Copies of this chain bind each other. A is one copy, B any other.
């Protein structure tokens, strides 16, 4: 394993590369500070090498927080892993300030082991493994109060120093927004010679205020030339457990995700209902994909559309 970049590394692609006090003593300083060399982040080559046996990468994105990116990531992973027992799936949680995957996957309190080939991700199932900063915290309540560059360093380590092994699909659960984490992960994973090297799924709720942020995220993907597999509408309706009546919790004033997808020319993969049973199972880290209900039926349709993109 190569020496880590200095703690305050300005990033080799930045204007300050090689020129700031933190660069003193870094073995790459002379390369970084040469203005005639337009450099790629050396981390990118390390990431490419580390992920050479990962067939497909899928970002789970949403401009809006709390729409269910993490829950959808967990549900997709578990459903796909159950339907394709001969394929291997990995989940990387790059929500550095609010990692939810350890709880959703029922792996809270697990430890990550270090071996000669890097950190070993935590095994969730025979064909599912997970890496999250949640595994590296002393206490689950610890706040990660980091500005961008430190978060980027962590993401780079997760991509280049985790022993992912052979994976058919690596799902990346992201924080809300279009900022440091998103730019970092895209710059590390994107291969200009292979336009499908990384793709994205966008999660939204039907509300206009969520769709507003989601449109921004779709434009982010378009600007970064990340192909969008499609949009998943989450919490589309709520079925009263008492009378069975279906209510719109987050009313779709403007036609919801379907109208937005038509307008922005991206496919709609499907809608997941708001199901308290799912919220409860997720809090407890339980797998509910073996049960037959409205959610898993919707999930089946969504997963088959996703898989048709990766054949």
Asked if residues A283 and B15 are in contact (CB atoms below 8 Å), the reply is no
Q: A219-B142, A251-B283, A276-B249 are in contact. Are A63 and B183 (CB under 8 A)?
A: no
B20 touching A10, Cβ below 8 Å: yes
Q: Known contacts A10-B16, A98-B176; decide if A223 and B276 are in contact (CB<8 Å).
A: no
A64 contacts B by Cβ under 8 Å: yes
Set of chain B residues within 8 Å of A183, measured between Cβ atoms: 145, 147
Cα A274 to Cα B207 with chains together (Å): 14
What is the CA–CA distance of A240 and B276 in the complex, to the nearest angstrom?
A: 14
Residues of B within 8 A of A20 (CB): 10, 15-16, 19-20
Q: Oligomeric state, in number of copies? A: 2
Q: Is A1 on the interface with B (CB-CB < 8 A)?
A: no
Q: Are B147 and A180 in contact (CB under 8 A)?
A: yes
**Which residues between 66 and 99 of chain A lie within 8 Å of chain B, taking CB atoms?**
66-67, 70, 96-98
Residue-wise interface mask of A (223-234) relative to B, using a CB-CB cutoff of 8 A (1 in contact, 0 not): 100000000000
Does A39 belong to the interface (CB within 8 Å)? no
Residue-by-residue, is A100-142 near B (CB-CB < 8 Å gives 1, otherwise 0)? 1001100000000000000000000000000000000000111
Is A282 part of the binding interface, using a Cβ–Cβ cutoff of 8 Å? yes
Which B residues are CB-close (under 8 A) to A177? 97-98, 175
Residues of B near A146 (CB, < 8 A) are: 179
Q: How far is the CB of A242 from chain B (nearest CB, A)?
A: 4
Give 11 A-B contacts (CB < 8 Å), ordered by A residue: A15-B21, A64-B66, A97-B178, A141-B216, A143-B217, A143-B219, A145-B223, A209-B282, A238-B238, A249-B279, A251-B276
Identify the A interface with B (CB < 8 A).
Answer: 8, 10, 14-16, 19-22, 63-67, 70, 96-98, 100, 103-104, 140-149, 151, 175-180, 182-183, 205, 207-210, 212-213, 215-217, 219-220, 223, 238, 240-243, 245, 247-251, 253, 274, 276, 279-280, 282-284
Give the top 8 A-B pairs by smallest Cβ distance, nearest first.
A65-B65, A66-B66, A148-B148, A242-B245, A243-B243, A97-B177, A240-B240, A143-B216
